[in-house]
Amino acid sequence: MSSQQNNHGLGDVMSLLGGVNPVAMAGKAVETMVTLTGELVQTLANFNDTMRELNTAARRVNSLLDDIEAPIRAIVPQVQAGVKQARSTIKRVDGVLGQVGSLPGDVAKAVSTLGDLAGRLSPLAAFAESAGGLFGVKPNK
């Protein structure tokens, strides 16, 4: 009879739980924990792979920078000197252009002055021809 009472008590406990099997629930909880742990391990492995790839990329970028740093350091002063020379040339060209701009007026003034001088010297030229005639020198025409 005691064995019937033991079974009867266990049945009462199971009926109180409403058909929920605690052993099955514990198994599902363990199964869920194993699944979550596996996913966490996979996520950490993916993160580790990503960090490894980033580290490789960083090494390549550093190597590239090391390769181009010396030529850039050599070129920069030359570029700066070229820019300085270009600025100086532009200033000189501006000065020449300013002078060339006033050149037509200066040439016209010089021609006018020469014409005026020729007019003023014509009596002296006539006198020189007359004086030359006295000494037997013929004028060049």
> Does 37 score more than 60 pLDDT?
yes
CA distance 4 to 81: 107
Which tens digit of pLDDT belongs to each residue from 51-104?
Answer: 999 999 999 999 988 888 888 778 878 888 888 888 888 777 777 766 666 667
- pLDDT band at residue 1, thresholds of 50, 70 and 90? very low
Residue 109's H or E segment, with its range, is helix 22-134
> Does 116 score more than 80 pLDDT?
no
At 132, the amino acid letter reads G
CA distance 30 to 37: 10
At 32, the amino acid letter reads T
Q: DSSP assignment, residue 97?
A: H
**Range 90-101 burial, b when 16+ CB lie within 10 A, else e:** eeeeeeeeeeee
